[in-house]
Structure 1
Amino acid sequence: MKVAVCIPAYKNVQYLRRVLDSLVMQDYTDWELVVTDDSPDAAVEALLQEYQGRLPFRYYRNTPAQGMPANWNVCYDKADAEYIKIMHDDDWFTTPDALRKMAEALDQHPECDFVFSAFRECFIDHPGKEREVHCSTFYRQLLKQDPVHLFQKNFIGPPSGCMHRNRPEYRYDVRLQWLVDVDFYINLLRHKPGFVYLDEVLVNIGISDLQLTKSCHGVRTVEIPEYFYLLRKTGEQSLQSLYVYDFFWRLMRNLGVRREHELYEAGMQGETPAVVKYILKCQRPFPFRLLRIGALNKILVGLSFAGRPRK
């Protein structure tokens, strides 16, 4: 098969039916569905049996459950196809040609391993509330320059909006949760620079108030260990980018960090990067309320960046 649609499932049968229905309507035929199930019961398997003959699927029950994102990797390891299209069980395709358009984009660009599209956020807890998300020309240019600019903002979006070539080195780091998708994108695009962007909403993304991204935002003991772990993986030289520097400046400000020991108390491992020590020193004389004034903050970031440690 050309494409493996990988669904790492966990209990959400009511949402899973929606993505399966969106797969039934696809006009592309060179694909198969791979489902790896972390659920504590047989509800997912029972639902799939309803699609016998309508969907070309392979089902695997994880015993024991793998958890997120390990289950994503299990699903990838089961895939035999040339391309992988991950779909989380609360996301779904918007049009019958969505799968075909992504696959054709990779077919037409053999120099690239990665394609992503615009998407629509659908707020599950607020029926009717939707928001389209497109990747601007500016953000695409930043991505071409260096994928570490994803520190500033994940302007690619969630994994369900992406398709990529099936290579063993493209796997998710199980030590991450909050930043697992950003880490994956940086790893892939550093391994194989170049991408295709489709400025068309091909996927709906289910957004819930209970999702991990909601519960982790602004939590020191989540954000600090993961951002500094990712910084070590990408290299401290990433802080020489103004956009990455600006992100860590805002991270320290938004989390209310003043001193280096607070980073360790929050769970950071290893040495504090010299540039981060410098950021803390630059911010210390100013009350946080002043650092949140947009114009003043931009001036301080610009001036301090000019004097940053270069090593």
Structure 2
Amino acid sequence: MNDIVLSILLPAYNYPEGIHKILSQISEANDDVKDKFEVVIYDNSSFESDVKKEFEYYKNNIKEITYKHYYPELGPSDNWNQLIGNSRGKYFILIHHDEFPLSDDFVVEVLKKIETNPGVDLILLDCFLMNKSKRLITRHIPTWIRIFVIKFFPTYLFRRNVVGPTASLIIRKDLQPTFDKNLKWLLDVDEYFGLFRNKIKWIFCKDIQICSYVDRGNSLTSSLGDDIGSIWKKELIYLAEKYSIKSPWLSKWHVLHLVDTVGWSFMRLFTRNISFILNRFGFYPISKEKVKKAFDDNC
């Protein structure tokens, strides 16, 4: 009988330190929940790297943990689809190696949230961005913007990803659409739109937080380099045809794009400057303990 409630899925790629940071926190989950979650690592590294060593180190601390190395490597969509398809949990979270929970009690808190919200389809977590070189931690997007877009204008996600990384979502597995192999840049956004355009039961959980390491090299974004603009335009055309919808956010240019750019620039200028000043004086949007752990590679 499968009692796994939560599958924590980790696509890895040449960054064992990131896997260590995730597993070091997950491994602290108490014995009461050890039978209720699993960790699945699919390693897409160019060679069988130190990611496997991290698995070997933590496999005695995490009851349900599996590792698989792919060579030749799978593309992102294939790796993510394989992870989800082979997971056993009723719910899953897809955490990339440059993302990590901001709480030692992450697994326990997620399982509590699922238990106290029976029938929930999706849980949206609070999301923060860490720029390690500049010692900055800021909220990804103001919460009200995330919720407003998701509730009323999910097509706007094709213009701007206000949801955040895939680690921002706890998703009921039987709702998950397959990641589209034809996409590179809008791969996650396509997933979000496919979920939120339907009438699903979702909740926002401010007290469970995830963080994304934005200035680390060798990420999917950095691998696309200067081609992002052209890839984005091509994918917008593809998605407009895929969903058979007409939207200003799925066109290559629209007058609303200019209005959006101006408004967004002012908003980001204000919020980022405020965050920068507050961070410089030691004020962060999370506790000092969480700040210390976020910047520490060893925990």
- Same fold (TM > 0.5): yes
Extract unaligned runs of 5+ from structure 1. Answer: 254-290, 296-311
Shift of 1:146: 4.2
Shift of 1:138: 4.4
Partners of 2:260 and 2:39 in 1: CA distance:
47
Shift of 1:162: 1.3
- 1:25 corresponds to: 28
Distance change in 2, residues 1:26/1:247 (3 Å): farther
Q: Helix, strand or coil for the counterpart of 1:69?
A: helix
Aligned length: 253
Shift of 1:77: 1.5
Q: Which has the larger radius of gyration?
A: 1
Extract unaligned runs of 5+ from structure 2. Answer: 264-299
2:121–2:175 contact (8 Å) kept in structure 1: no
Q: Helix, strand or coil for the counterpart of 2:115?
A: helix
1:227-281 Cα deviation digits (max 9, x unpaired): 2222223332334xxxx3899426976xxxxxxxxxxxxxxxxxxxxxxxxxxxx
Q: Do residues 2 (structure 1) and 5 (structure 2) align?
A: yes
Matched AA of 2:82? V
Partners of 1:113 and 1:248 in 2: CA distance:
34
Shift of 1:112: 3.5
CA RMSD of aligned residues (A): 2.9
Partners of 1:104 and 1:233 in 2: CA distance:
37
Partners of 2:128 and 2:88 in 1: CA distance:
29
43, 50, 53: which one pairs with 1:37? 43
Q: Helix, strand or coil for the counterpart of 1:237?
A: coil
Q: Do residues 105 (structure 1) and 113 (structure 2) align?
A: yes
Q: Helix, strand or coil for the counterpart of 2:247?
A: helix
Matched AA of 2:156? H
- Moved beyond 4 Å, runs of 4+: 214-219, 245-248, 250-253, 291-295
- 1:179 corresponds to: 186
Partners of 1:200 and 1:31 in 2: CA distance:
20
- 2:15 corresponds to: 12
Matched AA of 2:43? D
Ranked by relative contact order (alpha carbons within 8 Å, sequence separation 6 or more), the top structure is: 2
Distance change in 2, residues 1:164/1:50 (3 Å): same
Matched AA of 1:236? I
Partners of 2:68 and 2:7 in 1: CA distance:
14
Q: Do residues 74 (structure 1) and 82 (structure 2) align?
A: yes
Q: Do residues 85 (structure 1) and 93 (structure 2) align?
A: yes
2:123–2:171 contact (8 Å) kept in structure 1: yes
Q: Helix, strand or coil for the counterpart of 1:121?
A: strand
2:9–2:94 contact (8 Å) kept in structure 1: yes
Shift of 1:68: 1.3
Q: TM-score, normalised by structure 1?
A: 0.71
Identity %: 19
Q: Do residues 58 (structure 1) and 63 (structure 2) align?
A: no
Q: Do residues 151 (structure 1) and 158 (structure 2) align?
A: yes
Shift of 1:25: 2.3
Partners of 2:150 and 2:237 in 1: CA distance:
20
Shift of 1:4: 0.7
- The worse-fitting range, judged by mean Cα deviation, of 153-162 and 198-207 is 198-207
